[in-house]
A and B are shown apart, each in its own frame.
Chain A
């Protein structure tokens, strides 16, 4: 059997707690990050993504203590992002136990950063996060600073450029769908995933296992979700069984 598709719970963390909002706003408390990470690992998560969602806007560094706490219980891969601005920021997170680091705002400001990170730490550790929103003309543009600022940059062109600069993966979030539970933006995911030769994690809008099946049946290599796992007590194992019934190759 070939490489499986990945199911990735995401922990959006602010002030040491897991939170979740809608369209990047209106945050609710969803628990302790280490407890949730352990639960997801036991339930069969393929990987965990941890985003310090307040870091970029408030200029704080990511909470390395929380990272260390999560790394201490993980025997699966673990990605961290939020407020990463430099090779030194990335080094600090990797030393705290992260396997991969995502960068967004700082890479848009200075794309050369991507190549520098990949040269020092390897492509496999360097993940580009793209927050994209559909523009009036039907294109998708890249937003930075936690979804607040439109750069006007075309998301597909940016994904291509980043892949050429040496990143190993793209975490692609639809701002329009984030927290809505309306399903992934399949058009956005297809446009990006078919334009690059690196894995793409689809994010934003997952409200059910069926949504996950829809996006994984297409070009996405992995699907990320937060709310369905945090609040709805939808166990990852149950989601994966539904995916398998629908013909998606997953690790069970």
Chain B
């Protein structure tokens, strides 16, 4: 069984995420000691950008060596900067995190469908048009590259990204019913290889 570690930023609900990863076949620990052995790291989708970046600091080396799944703000941490905060991001994906279009309600909250741009590990067995649950006020600027799927919200919002050992979803797979469960199973599968 793959042993995954969730980095808990302290404030939000990681209960559902932990349980969903267990349903997907993982053995889950929370707040690993930096340097602990684990098959994959999960950055949950709660908290704000600066808080997330400061909590990630001790794990930078671990993140270079195992698959990393970033959810919502956890995925936004992959980029170089965010309009939500002042801290630099990890910068492993090119681009910046910006506010949602001013013409749309914010947060983008609720169920939206994904359009698949290219195949990827997370989306194996997940059809285009699948419904996923969003709740966010910032988004990655879409420059193709790592983006494997988008959702429409005034603009094309990057929904799923993959690059090297970094995997991310802007939506919450742990709250996205069947499609979300499959995505988490796929990530657990990546970690088990």
Interface residues of A, Cβ cutoff 8 Å to B: 1-6, 46-47, 71-72, 74-78, 91, 94-99, 120-125, 168-169, 197-199, 221-222, 251
Within the assembled complex, what's the spacing in Å between the Cα atoms of A84 and B19?
Answer: 25
Given A77-B175, A98-B13, A72 contacting B19 (CB threshold 8 A): yes
Within the assembled complex, what's the spacing in Å between the Cα atoms of A251 and B112?
Answer: 8
Which 6 pairs of residues, A with B, have the shortest CB-CB distance? Answer: A124-B135, A97-B15, A94-B13, A251-B111, A77-B175, A3-B112
What distance in Å separates the Cβ of A247 from its nearest Cβ neighbour in chain B?
17
Interface residues of B, Cβ cutoff 8 Å to A: 11-13, 15-16, 19-20, 46-48, 105-113, 129, 131, 133-137, 152-153, 172, 174-177, 180-181
Nearest to A77 among chain B residues (CB) is B175
Whether A99 lies near B131 (C-beta < 8 A) is no
Within the assembled complex, what's the spacing in Å between the Cα atoms of A94 and B19?
Answer: 14
- Given contacts A4-B111, A46-B111, A221-B105, 19 further A-B pairs with CB under 8 A are A3-B110, A4-B112, A5-B110, A71-B19, A75-B20, A75-B181, A76-B177, A77-B135, A97-B15, A99-B135, A120-B11, A121-B46, A122-B46, A125-B12, A168-B137, A169-B107, A197-B106, A199-B105, A251-B131
Contact of A169 (CB < 8 Å), options: B12, B109, B181: B109
Within the assembled complex, what's the spacing in Å between the Cα atoms of A4 and B16?
Answer: 23
Given A1-B113, A76-B133, A123 contacting B16 (CB threshold 8 A): no
- Chain B contacts of A5 at CB under 8 A? 110
Whether B110 lies near A46 (C-beta < 8 A) is yes
- Chain B contacts of A169 at CB under 8 A? 107, 109
- Chain B contacts of A91 at CB under 8 A? 11
Contact of A2 (CB < 8 Å), options: B12, B152, B174: B152
Within the assembled complex, what's the spacing in Å between the Cα atoms of A120 and B177?
Answer: 27
Nearest to B45 among chain A residues (CB) is A124
Give me 5 A-to-B residue pairs in the complex whose CB atoms sit less than 8 angstroms apart, sorted by A's number.
A95-B15, A122-B12, A124-B109, A125-B46, A199-B110
- Chain B contacts of A6 at CB under 8 A? 110-111
Given A3-B108, A124-B107, A221-B109, A99 contacting B11 (CB threshold 8 A): no
Nearest to A4 among chain B residues (CB) is B111
Within the assembled complex, what's the spacing in Å between the Cα atoms of A78 and B174?
Answer: 12
Given A75-B177, A97-B15, A123-B107, A2 contacting B137 (CB threshold 8 A): no
- Chain A contacts of B106 at CB under 8 A? 197-198
Whether A75 lies near B176 (C-beta < 8 A) is yes
Within the assembled complex, what's the spacing in Å between the Cα atoms of A221 and B135?
Answer: 13
What distance in Å separates the Cβ of A238 from its nearest Cβ neighbour in chain B?
18
- Chain A contacts of B46 at CB under 8 A? 121-122, 125
What distance in Å separates the Cβ of B174 from its nearest Cβ neighbour in chain A?
7
- Chain A contacts of B107 at CB under 8 A? 123-124, 168-169, 198-199
What distance in Å separates the Cβ of B9 from its nearest Cβ neighbour in chain A?
10
Within the assembled complex, what's the spacing in Å between the Cα atoms of A91 and B181?
Answer: 26
Contact of A77 (CB < 8 Å), options: B112, B133, B136: B133
- Chain B contacts of A125 at CB under 8 A? 12-13, 46
Nearest to A200 among chain B residues (CB) is B105
Within the assembled complex, what's the spacing in Å between the Cα atoms of A236 and B1?
Answer: 37
Within the assembled complex, what's the spacing in Å between the Cα atoms of A245 and B46?
Answer: 36
- Chain A contacts of B153 at CB under 8 A? 2-3
Given A3-B110, A123-B137, A95 contacting B177 (CB threshold 8 A): no
What distance in Å separates the Cβ of A91 from its nearest Cβ neighbour in chain B?
7
Nearest to B178 among chain A residues (CB) is A75
Within the assembled complex, what's the spacing in Å between the Cα atoms of A244 and B136?
Answer: 26
- Chain B contacts of A4 at CB under 8 A? 110-112, 131
- Chain B contacts of A97 at CB under 8 A? 13, 15-16
What distance in Å separates the Cβ of B181 from its nearest Cβ neighbour in chain A?
6
Contact of A222 (CB < 8 Å), options: B110, B176, B177: B110
Given A122-B12, A122-B48, A75 contacting B175 (CB threshold 8 A): yes
Whether A121 lies near B15 (C-beta < 8 A) is no
